[in-house]
């Protein structure tokens, strides 16, 4: 039999002596009495190895590293290896997250995530430097101010991109299908994102844009619906959730509730009882049974997918566009008491029919890819306008011309409007 002996130096022993009591105090009481073979028992050998690695770095690394830095890096690594959305937040990062939740911060207006180790644009926020510069969902960010992002954590990238208004940020983007990166120089602004916009595309056909889910988003959307209905009774409505990165869960429930008068909206499941929640629609709805088309794309994530999934499962509207992002996890922000915090994935979202959104996304009922309408030239035919002495028509109002140009530029929106008109034709014939 071979006897294995691990020699632990004096500094590591001192560190281990400090670490073990802290680990034991953090463990549930029944854990202390469990046998060493139990899967829930503290892995003492691994803790001892950790202490040895800690000591060797302290003693042999090429530069002196203080204990605080090593411990913070260990915590970051522990969380970053769980999933792309769990993270350890130092004081600056925790404050930055709080600012973004409140809807006001200095930056370029971009939501980012990681996929296959790459830093990727989830969506640019409407009317921000990122959206005006033409950044797109699924653009890969390869460098920030000349610093490569391949070994950069998500929180580090967010911290670098945020900053004081009127300062410049240089980012390099690799777009799908292109061989070399594009470089963008953006000027940071105070990002105050208005989450709801609305307008009438044509008489009777409304457009409701929700760019993200903040605490007041359902109230703003309700007001927008009532305002459009006062102008003219709605015959159809487009709910635009494209490039919506998500936000507050309760806000997503509130938006879905505007269109549903009964049934389940979403539920969550996790390991702890307080992470299991269920939300259902209330009996009243300001949207009534107005025909509804919901636009989604690869930038529609999290809370946006909750709304689309609920309306799809409840057969309340037609989901149109392309597959959504597929972020179906719930994160809780846990303050640590020293100004720092923990962002930890604690549950998963499920649609009313029990579909998991995570890594699946919402598949549209009608797939329509992003594009622009082009008017094809046809064989020249004689029309009224070609006849000598024809009466001249009045020029269309400027706003009508602008809307026509917008529908040419946005193929998905144009198709959604056409579908609403078709639904109304079918509905009238059934009557």
Residues designated catalytic: 302, 313, 327
Query: What percent of the chain is helix, strand and coil (3-state, nearest 5)?
Result: 35, 25, 40
- Please name which of 291, 295, 317 lies closest in space to residue 236, comparing C-alpha atoms: 291
CA gap 238, 307 in Å, rounded: 13
Residue 251 three-state SS: helix
CA gap 276, 268 in Å, rounded: 5
Q: Tokens 């022993």 correspond to what residue?
A: 13
Tokens of 28: 């549930």
Burial category of 103 from C-beta neighbours within 10 Å (exposed 0-12, middle 13-18, buried 19 and up)? middle
Report the largest interatomic distance among the alpha carbons of the chain, rounded to a whole angstrom: 111
User: Residue 230 is inside which H or E element, if any?
Assistant: helix 217-231
Tokens of 226: 């009532």
**C-alpha torsion 283→309→98→117, nearest 10:** 170
- Please name which of 130, 131, 112, 132 lies closest in space to residue 122, comparing C-alpha atoms: 112
C-beta of residue 23 within 8 angstroms of C-beta of residue 42: yes
- What is each CA distance from 126 to 13, 136, 212, 285, 389, in whole angstroms? 55, 11, 9, 27, 48
CA gap 246, 296 in Å, rounded: 12
Classify the phi-psi angles of 312: left when phi > 0, otherwise alpha if psi is within -120 to 50, otherwise beta.
alpha
- Please name which of 17, 76, 1 lies closest in space to residue 340, comparing C-alpha atoms: 76
CA gap 94, 336 in Å, rounded: 10
Tokens of 378: 């046809």
CA gap 40, 384 in Å, rounded: 84
């Amino acid at each position: 039999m071979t006897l294995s002996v691990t020699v632990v130096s004096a500094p590591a022993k001192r560190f281990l002596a400090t670490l073990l009591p802290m680990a034991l105090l953090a463990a549930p009481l029944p854990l202390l009495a469990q046998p060493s073979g139990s899967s829930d028992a503290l892995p003492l050998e691994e803790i001892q190895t950790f202490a040895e690695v800690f000591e060797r770095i302290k003693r042999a690394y090429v530069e002196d590293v203080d204990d605080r830095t090593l411990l913070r890096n260990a915590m970051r690594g522990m969380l970053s290896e769980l999933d792309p959305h769990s993270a350890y937040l130092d004081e600056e990062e925790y404050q930055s997250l709080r600012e973004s939740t409140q809807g006001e911060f200095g930056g370029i207006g971009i939501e980012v995530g990681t996929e296959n180790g790459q830093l990727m644009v989830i969506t640019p926020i409407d009317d921000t430097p990122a959206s005006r510069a033409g950044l797109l969902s699924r653009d890969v960010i390869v460098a920030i101010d000349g610093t490569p992002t391949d070994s950069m954590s998500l929180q580090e990238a967010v911290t670098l991109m945020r900053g004081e208004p009127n300062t410049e940020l240089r980012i390099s983007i690799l777009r799908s299908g292109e061989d070399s990166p594009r470089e963008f120089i953006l000027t940071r602004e105070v990002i105050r994102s208005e989450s709801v916009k609305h307008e009438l595309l044509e008489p009777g056909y409304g457009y409701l844009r929700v760019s993200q889910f903040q605490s007041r988003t359902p109230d703003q959307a309700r007001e927008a619906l009532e305002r459009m209905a006062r102008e003219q009774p709605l015959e159809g409505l487009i709910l635009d959730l494209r490039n919506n990165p998500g936000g507050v869960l309760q806000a997503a429930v509130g938006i879905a509730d505007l269109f549903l008068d009964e049934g389940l909206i979403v539920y969550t499941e996790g390991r702890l009882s307080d992470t299991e929640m269920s939300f259902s629609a209330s009996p009243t709805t300001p949207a009534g049974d107005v025909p509804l088309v919901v636009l989604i794309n690869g930038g529609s994530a999290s809370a946006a997918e909750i709304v689309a999934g609920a309306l799809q499962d409840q057969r309340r509207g037609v989901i149109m566009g392309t597959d959504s992002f597929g972020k179906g996890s719930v994160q809780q922000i846990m303050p640590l008491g020293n100004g720092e915090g923990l962002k930890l994935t604690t549950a998963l979202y499920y649609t009313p029919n029990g579909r998991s959104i995570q890594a699946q996304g919402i598949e549209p009922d009608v797939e329509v890819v992003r594009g622009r309408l082009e008017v094809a030239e046809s064989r020249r035919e004689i029309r009224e306008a070609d006849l000598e002495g024809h009466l001249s028509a009045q020029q269309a109002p400027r706003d009508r011309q602008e809307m026509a140009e917008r529908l040419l530029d946005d193929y998905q929106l144009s198709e959604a409007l056409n579908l609403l008109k078709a639904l109304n034709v079918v509905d009238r014939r059934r009557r």
